[in-house]
Amino acid sequence: MLMRIAAALALMSLACRGGENRDAVADTSASTGTAQQGSAINAAYAATPAVQTVDKDAVAALDRMATYLRSIKSFRVTALTTRDEVLTNGQKAQYATTQDVLLEKPNKLLAKIDNDGGRRFLFYDGKTFTLWADGPRYYASVPAPGNISQLSDQLEKKFGIELPLRDLFLWGTDNQRGGAFTSAVDLGPSQIEGTSVEQYAFRQDGFDWQIWIQKGDYPLPRKLIITTLTDDARPDYTAVFDWNLAPSFNDAIFTFDPPDGAKKIVLAQADTMSASK
Amino acid sequence: MSRLLRNMIHVLVGLVLVYEPALAQRRGAGGGGGARAGSGGGAQARQAVQTRGAARTSVNQNANTNRTANVNRTTNANVNRDINVNRDIDVHRDVDVNVHHEYGYGPCCYHPVARAVAVTAAVATTAAVIGSIVNSVPPSCTAVIVNGFTYEQCGSTWYQPQFVGTNTTYIVVAPPR
């Protein structure tokens, strides 16, 4: 045991010394070459487009995607998403959620959320919103506004509930945030699961984001990364979308019908909870 | 030698007491519902951590990320305290203390409202205090429906299950009837 500790200590001290050496090397190169390297780097940057520009074509690609999304009357999207949380020491921890959303515009939605917290379903039939946790068999229902965009707003403000994948239906609605880009860049062609896509990078107040838009006649978002800049740790949200543009369903599935043993509970009010602290 | 033995007993008792909330959780979760149960069958609850924030999840809408950024200052109950044998005489309390920090600060489901709730809960250290929040209730509780809504009655303590965001939590309330 003692020997192991000693060995570990020896390794640690070696590692530390290694670090010092590397630092020393870096310092040398920096002190000898700063001036020339700096001008060379500047020249290199001057030859390529500056990052802090808004490429009109990139914004147009986004608009084209939004227009296309607006034209789709119903769709089903499954997505694997990850979200970084930031621990109090600044360290990031990533958690994954699988989301399955069936949507019929303007006022029907059924979503399934699977993560470490269990499985929940969200029902919206244009009149009522219901959250159902089939593990504990709890559900809560509230009267809902007339369309999905309003529902998203209301749920977030009143109950702190984020509708899954809500960008997919907020794009192309009044809730879309537009025109506030400090940077917009076309990063070129790429592939997502065998599909040809174009990758774009945008910067807005407080966050950077990247989107991979399918090429061709169906400009669908296939991947999204949002990097939050308001926290030093820069936590990421990522989502990869799998689209079904011809889902089969009947409207009855958007209405929650409490199964046997379902127990009705309440949705905590967001403002009440925040105030009670 | 006797000290070693005593330590071992402490650890064993501690394990039992730590396991207790896991059982409660599993019941609350009903095999994977709102309460946090480990993916491997529920007994192994994941480590709870305090968070200061999370990535925004929408480019078009996000009101939450910064709204309660100041809520995480409270020093919360931690796992080590639960293992302290001298304090674990009241099993109910242990269940609740352990449970508090699993959700509001729990790793699975960052939620600013949940975090606000957890701060409230951290102030209240016993289950009976009205307004305190837990993630699960003891297995001995009975579901009672009052005015159409479900409550869990555990002896003289009444819990009202509620969704905070999309997570299930329980708030201690005055007897509803």
Model confidence at B64: pLDDT above 70: no
Q: Judge whether B173 is closer than 8 Å to chain A, CB to CB.
A: no
Q: Check the CA dihedral A57-A62-A65-A71 and report its sign.
A: negative
Model confidence at A41: pLDDT above 90: no
CA of residue A106 relative to chain centroid, distance: 23
Please tell me the predicted confidence (pLDDT) of residue B140. 87
**Residue to substitute from A63, A69, A97, A116, interface B, most B β-carbons within 10 A:** A116
**A250 versus B65: which is more confidently predicted?**
A250
The confidence band for B128, taking pLDDT boundaries of 50, 70 and 90, is low
Smallest Cβ–Cβ distance between A263 and the set B106, B150, B164 belongs to B150
Please tell me the predicted confidence (pLDDT) of residue B26. 31
The confidence band for B76, taking pLDDT boundaries of 50, 70 and 90, is very low
Q: Which residue has the tokens 């009975």?
A: B142
8-state DSSP, A174: T
Tell me how far CA of residue A229 lies from CA of A145, A219, A232, B53, in angstroms. Answer: 33, 28, 7, 12
- Angstrom distance (rounded) from CA A151 to CA A119: 21
| Interface contact A266-B61, CB threshold 8 A | no
Please tell me the predicted confidence (pLDDT) of residue B22. 34
Tell me how far CA of residue A82 lies from CA of A5, B82, B107, B122, in angstroms. Answer: 38, 31, 12, 28
The confidence band for A138, taking pLDDT boundaries of 50, 70 and 90, is very high
- Angstrom distance (rounded) from CA B101 to CA B121: 9
Token duo for residue A254: 């958007």
A58: which residues sit within 8 A by CB, 6+ positions away? A184, A185, A186, A200, A202
A231: which residues sit within 8 A by CB, 6+ positions away? A86, B52, B53
Q: Judge whether A259 is closer than 8 Å to chain B, CB to CB.
A: no
pLDDT tens digit sequence for A144-187? 999 999 999 999 999 999 999 999 998 877 666 655 899 999 99
- Angstrom distance (rounded) from CA A102 to CA A88: 36
Smallest Cβ–Cβ distance between B33 and the set A136, A175, A274 belongs to A136
- Angstrom distance (rounded) from CA A126 to CA A149: 11
In percent, the amount of chain B with pLDDT more than 70 equals: 35
pLDDT tens digit sequence for B9-42? 554 444 433 333 333 333 333 222 233 333 333 3
Q: Judge whether B121 is closer than 8 Å to chain A, CB to CB.
A: no
Per the confidence metrics, is the pTM higher than 0.95?
no
What single string gives the DSSP state of each residue in A238-274? EEEEEEESS----GGGGS--PPTT-EE-EEPPHHHHH
DSSP run (H or E) holding A132: strand A128-133
B139: which residues sit within 8 A by CB, 6+ positions away? B23, B24, B27
pLDDT tens digit sequence for B131-174? 988 888 888 899 999 999 999 999 999 999 999 999 899 999 99
Please tell me the predicted confidence (pLDDT) of residue A173. 76
Model confidence at A61: pLDDT above 70: yes
Give me the phi and psi of A130, to 5 degrees please.
-130, 135
Please tell me the predicted confidence (pLDDT) of residue A244. 98
Query: Is there a contact between B32 and A133 (Cβ–Cβ < 8 Å)?
Result: no
SS (H, E, C) chain B: CHHHHHHHHHHHHHHHHHHHHHHHHHHHHCCCCCCCCECCCECCCCCCCCEEEECCCCCCCCCCCCCCCCHHHCCCCCHHHHHCHHHCCCHHHHHHHHHHHHHCCCCCCCCHHHHHHHHHHHHCCCCCCCCCEECCCCCCCEEEEECCEEEEEECCEEEEEEEECCEEEEEEECCCC
**A31 versus A168: which is more confidently predicted?**
A168
Q: Judge whether A212 is closer than 8 Å to chain B, CB to CB.
A: no
Please tell me the predicted confidence (pLDDT) of residue A31. 43
Please tell me the predicted confidence (pLDDT) of residue B153. 94
Give the residue from A151, A141, A167 showing the smallest Cα distance to A258: A141
Token duo for residue A149: 């965009």
| Averaged pLDDT, A210-224 | 98
Query: Is there a contact between B158 and B175 (Cβ–Cβ < 8 Å)?
Result: yes
Please tell me the predicted confidence (pLDDT) of residue A182. 93
Please tell me the predicted confidence (pLDDT) of residue B138. 86
| Interface contact A113-B161, CB threshold 8 A | no
| Interface contact A135-B29, CB threshold 8 A | yes
Please tell me the predicted confidence (pLDDT) of residue A97. 97
Smallest Cβ–Cβ distance between A231 and the set B53, B145, B161 belongs to B53
Residue A171 CB burial class (10 angstroms; 0-12, 13-18, ≥19): buried
Q: Which residue has the tokens 């699961």?
A: A193
